[in-house]
Amino acid sequence: MTSLTLIRRIAARRSIVFDALTTPEGIACWWGPDDGPVLLAETDLRVGGRFRVRFRMLDGSEHESSGEYLEVVRPERLAMSWRWAGGEEDPGESLVEIELRAIAEGTELTFTHSQLANEETRRSHEEGWNGALDKLERHFLTSANGGRHDQA
Amino acid sequence: MVKYPERLDRTFAALVDPTRRAMLARLEREGSASVSELARPFAIKLPAVMKHLDVRDGARLITRSKVGRTVTVRLSPGPMREAMDWLRRYERFWSASLDRLAAYAESKEAEMREKDR
């Protein structure tokens, strides 16, 4: 799995940085690879809520990405899934994680964008986990029964 | 055809191992090498080298050709370039975005302090 990590030290308190990251007004001011405008920004800031941002680059091309908020802990942590509409830039789903740490001058932001394992790997992981949970459940059922037997 | 994200996974898996990376770096420098030449700097046997090459073959990072008893290995840069492109694209996007985010948050902070005064 590959991932990109970027760190920024920002002279602003964490709540301001967090709101800049998550409100449509904030997003409109910074989102995108060049100075082209943000055309649309929607955020439903809660776990399971979605965001959608569309922007135009200076070359005139328009791009849109969207995803689901996976973790929302104001003002310290944010995680969301990421996918490009149309998918020509990167057809897969990826994961964005942002940590905000309070430092003397304000906030240290650690940003990570990682490529998720493909569908097949994810499925096998899930099966692995479910298998493990089933086993755990059986284990507890067995020992619970055993306990009752002992008492009887 | 192998799908794009799957291909990237394989490429990165192939690059995780230091021995594989060292072999790759050598191929990059020298263009091509035989399997026994690739094995020489490492304390590993030929079958182990072949195993490393299989992983990379699977990720299509290399091509192999056989003349007589000599197997020559060459770098095929396509998938590696794809992986680097993925990183570069997002780095460009986020680096510029986060710079503007920082500037925006700092101006908001200044505004807030102005108000508090």
Strand duo A38-43 + A3-10: pairing: unpaired
Q: To the nearest whole percent, how much of chain A has pLDDT over 90?
A: 64
Q: To the nearest whole percent, how much of chain B has pLDDT over 70?
A: 83
Q: Which chain B residues contact residue A108 at CB under 8 A?
A: none
- Residue A98: what are its φ and ψ, rounded to 5°? -130, 125
Domains in chain B (CATH in brackets) are: 4-76 (1.10.10.10)
Instruction: Please state which of the ranges A12-16, A26-30, A94-98, A141-145 shows the lowest mean pLDDT.
Output: A141-145
Q: How much is the average pLDDT of B98-115?
A: 96
Residue whose tokens read 């002279």 = A11
Confidence of residue A146 (pLDDT cuts 50, 70, 90): very low
Residue whose tokens read 């969301």 = A80
Q: How much is the average pLDDT of B94-104?
A: 96
pLDDT tens digit string along B14-52?
777 777 777 777 877 777 788 888 888 877 777 787 787
Under a CB-based contact definition with an 8 Å cutoff, are residues A22 and A79 in contact?
Answer: no
B74 or A56: which leads in pLDDT: A56
DSSP annotation of A61 reads -
Out of A10, A11, A32, closest to residue B97 by CB: A32
User: ipTM above 0.95?
Assistant: no
Residue A97, C-beta contacts closer than 8 angstroms, at least 6 positions apart: A71, A77, A78, A79, A111, A112, A114
Q: How much is the average pLDDT of A70-86?
A: 95
Q: How much is the average pLDDT of B77-94?
A: 78
**Would you call A84 an interface residue with chain B, using a CB distance cutoff of 8 Å?**
no
Whether residue B2 is predicted with pLDDT greater than 70 in this model: the reply is no
The Cα–Cα gap between B55 and B15 comes to 10
Q: Which residue, among A90, A114, A89, A103, has the nearest Cα to A4 in the 3D structure?
A: A114
Q: Where are the beta strands (DSSP E) in B1-117?
A: 32-34, 62-67, 70-75
The Cα–Cα gap between A149 and A143 comes to 10
Measured CB to CB, residues of chain B less than 8 Å from chain A are 3-6, 8-9, 12, 83, 86-87, 89-106, 108-109, 112
Residue-averaged pLDDT of chain A: 81
Whether residue A30 is predicted with pLDDT greater than 80 in this model: the reply is yes
Whether residue A132 is predicted with pLDDT greater than 60 in this model: the reply is no
Q: Is the pTM of this model over 0.80?
A: no
CA dihedral sign of residues B48, B51, B57, B58: negative
Out of A1, A11, A120, closest to residue B12 by CB: A1
The SS3 of residue B30 is helix
Whether residue B111 is predicted with pLDDT greater than 60 in this model: the reply is yes
Q: Answer yes or no: do B105 and A118 touch at CB < 8 A.
A: no
